[in-house]
Amino acid sequence: MVTTCATPTCLRPPADGMDMCKPCSVGGKPLTNPQSPHAAQHSFSPRVMKDGKPIKDGSVQMGVPTVRVPKPGTGTATPKVTISPKNQIKTSLSTQDSKKAVQMIFNSRWWGWQDGLPAQFPDLFAQFGKYHKANVKTSSMVGTPDSHRSQINMSGNAAYVTIMELILPVEGMRSVERKLRNPIYAEARGAVSIPDMLVAIENDGKTYTFEKVGDGTIYKYEDDKGKEHQLPRWAIA
């Protein structure tokens, strides 16, 4: 049965253990709006007989609406809890830009973590491919001299550390050739051709005399057969 506050014009339900609602018991104004969410009608749970018919307690005059009970056999079902599958990281970047961004994250120094890289990163960024932290060996050449004798150092760029330590040993030179077309590696090699980069990779660690080309971002050298090739400045130890 719908029970309202003992105040004649109040539609609130009485407080526990009282015949009045709390506001009226302290001298507050009675609730006269039957549409208010605080009205007793909204807290009324009808008693239902076994045949599914409700026992019509209360009255419309008191603001109690007609109680609608589902037809027999069509009771309210327990809502199913659906667990959505693990969503992939959504990004507005292109695939290549996303991969480049992930490689930059891996190449950053993460202080406090073993080897400077959180162990969760490989799994966290797995959808973008396999990455590992680059151990860059920076060039010891000062400035851009016209001529410099040293070794080829293909680990002088973070992107190419990935090639030398991961792609080349695991996938071979054919895969490396395909990778060099990737924007990550193309940006690092600049105007140096893919064939010249492949030669430099094959001759990594060998000593040559390098001569500056233009502004010094590129150097040239002759291989063991006397053939001229080019390579980026960062690839000189």
Of the three residues 68, 96, 112, the one that is the final residue of a domain is 68
CA dist list (Å): 34 to 30, 46, 66: 12, 17, 13
189: pLDDT strictly greater than 80:
yes
Is residue 81 situated within a structural domain?
A: no
Specify the pLDDT at position 65.
Answer: 41
Structure confidence by residue, pLDDT tens digits, 129-167: 766 556 788 888 999 999 999 999 999 988 888 888 878
Of the three residues 68, 95, 123, the one that is the final residue of a domain is 68
Residue ranges making up the domain that contains 9: 1-68
Number of independent structural domains in the chain: 2
Is residue 118 situated within a structural domain?
A: no
Give dist(CA 141, CA 237) in Å, integer.
Answer: 7
Say yes or no: 63 and 140 in one domain.
no
Virtual torsion, Cα 170, 175, 177, 179, nearest 10 deg? -90
Specify the pLDDT at position 107.
Answer: 65
- Give the other-Cβ count within 10 Å of 158's Cβ: 19
Tell me the pLDDT band of 4, cut-offs 50, 70 and 90.
confident
100: pLDDT strictly greater than 60:
yes
Say yes or no: 139 and 231 in one domain.
yes
17: pLDDT strictly greater than 80:
no
Of the three residues 50, 68, 86, the one that is the final residue of a domain is 68
Tell me the pLDDT band of 12, cut-offs 50, 70 and 90.
confident
Give dist(CA 170, CA 129) in Å, integer.
Answer: 15
Q: What is the mean pLDDT of residues 8-28?
A: 83
Is residue 95 situated within a structural domain?
A: no
Specify the pLDDT at position 226.
Answer: 92
Tell me the pLDDT band of 2, cut-offs 50, 70 and 90.
low
pTM above 0.85, yes or no: no
Comparing 28-42, 134-148, 178-192, the range with the smallest average pLDDT is 28-42
